[in-house]
């Protein structure tokens, strides 16, 4: 399977290179693999690239931590309290259906071209997705197990720590893995709309000057970040599943 994937990727890169060199496609608009590699060598170690990576990475990290912690806590409360869920639960689906990038101009008007506007946009994505995820995780806990825990006299706090969390953590962790990617997308999209720095702003800058190879280099950088973080989450998730089985 891995060999087949490598062959497909290699064939695509060769076809792309040939199409660009023979001008079957416009090299200025589509670039080529050798040009992307050259752009990566020149752009990635540059001072601008490192500053942009710091700006984007900082915003993603802050927004992911704030959104994941608050969203998970909110979802646990919704899942454990029928009263709270009855009041606030119906708002989750409509809010999650709103494309957040459409709110970027509003956040920029409120907070200006600052890191805050990027963080708020990403948090608005992560929070509501994880709130829904955590609520569903609580509801997925075995009903008989919950009943037995209440019969033996477990209080709400003990019920949460000894029954709900051990059963729901793997599901919630899968949600965390997903929402990191959404946090990254939210921050980059916000930077592309308006920002004073960041990888999203670099994409806009280089695409407007038709430096397409550099744009692809930035996209490769973002892809590598997402893949590495996803691999880390997968590794931790597998360990959690082993812990749950024991």
pTM for this predicted structure:
0.82
Structure tokens at 17: 């290179």
Contacts of 132 (CB under 8 A, 6+ apart): 75, 92, 93, 96
pLDDT by residue (tens digit) across 116-136?
A: 888 999 999 999 999 988 888
More confident residue, 66 or 233: 66
Give the model confidence (pLDDT) of 76-108 as tens digits. 888 888 888 888 888 888 888 888 888 888 888
Q: Give 144-168 pLDDT, tens digit per residue.
A: 666 676 666 666 666 667 677 777 7
**Are the beta carbons of 192 and 206 closer than 8 angstroms?**
no
* CATH label, 31-245, candidates 3.20.20.140, 1.10.3720.10, 3.90.1570.10, 1.10.150.130: 1.10.3720.10
Each residue of 22-61: pLDDT tens digit? 888 888 889 899 999 999 999 999 999 999 999 999 999 9
Pick from 219, 224, 211, 208: nearest CA to 35: 211
């Amino acid at each position: 399977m891995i060999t087949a994937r490598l062959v497909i990727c290699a064939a695509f890169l060769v076809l792309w290179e040939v199409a660009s060199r023979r001008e079957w496609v416009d090299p200025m608009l589509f670039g080529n693999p050798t040009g992307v590699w050259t752009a990566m060598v020149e752009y990635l170690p540059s001072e601008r690239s490192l500053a942009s990576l710091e700006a984007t990475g900082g915003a993603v990290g802050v927004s992911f931590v704030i959104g994941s912690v608050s969203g998970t806590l909110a979802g646990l409360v919704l899942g454990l309290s029928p009263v709270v869920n009855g009041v606030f639960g119906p708002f989750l689906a409509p809010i999650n259906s709103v494309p957040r990038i459409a709110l970027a101009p509003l956040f920029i008007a409120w907070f200006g071209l600052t890191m805050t506007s990027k963080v708020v946009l990403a948090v608005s994505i992560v929070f509501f997705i994880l709130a829904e995820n955590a609520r569903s995780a609580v509801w997925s806990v075995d009903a008989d197990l919950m009943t037995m825990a209440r019969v033996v006299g477990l209080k709400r706090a003990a019920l949460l720590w000894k029954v709900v969390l051990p059963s729901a953590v793997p599901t919630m962790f899968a949600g965390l893995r997903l929402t990191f990617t959404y946090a990254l997308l939210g921050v980059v999209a916000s930077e592309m709309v308006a920002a004073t720095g960041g990888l999203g702003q670099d994409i806009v800058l280089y695409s407007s000057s038709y430096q397409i190879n550099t744009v692809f280099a930035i996209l490769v950088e973002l892809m590598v970040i997402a893949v590495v973080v996803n691999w880390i989450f997968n590794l931790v998730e597998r360990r959690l599943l082993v812990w749950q089985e024991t």
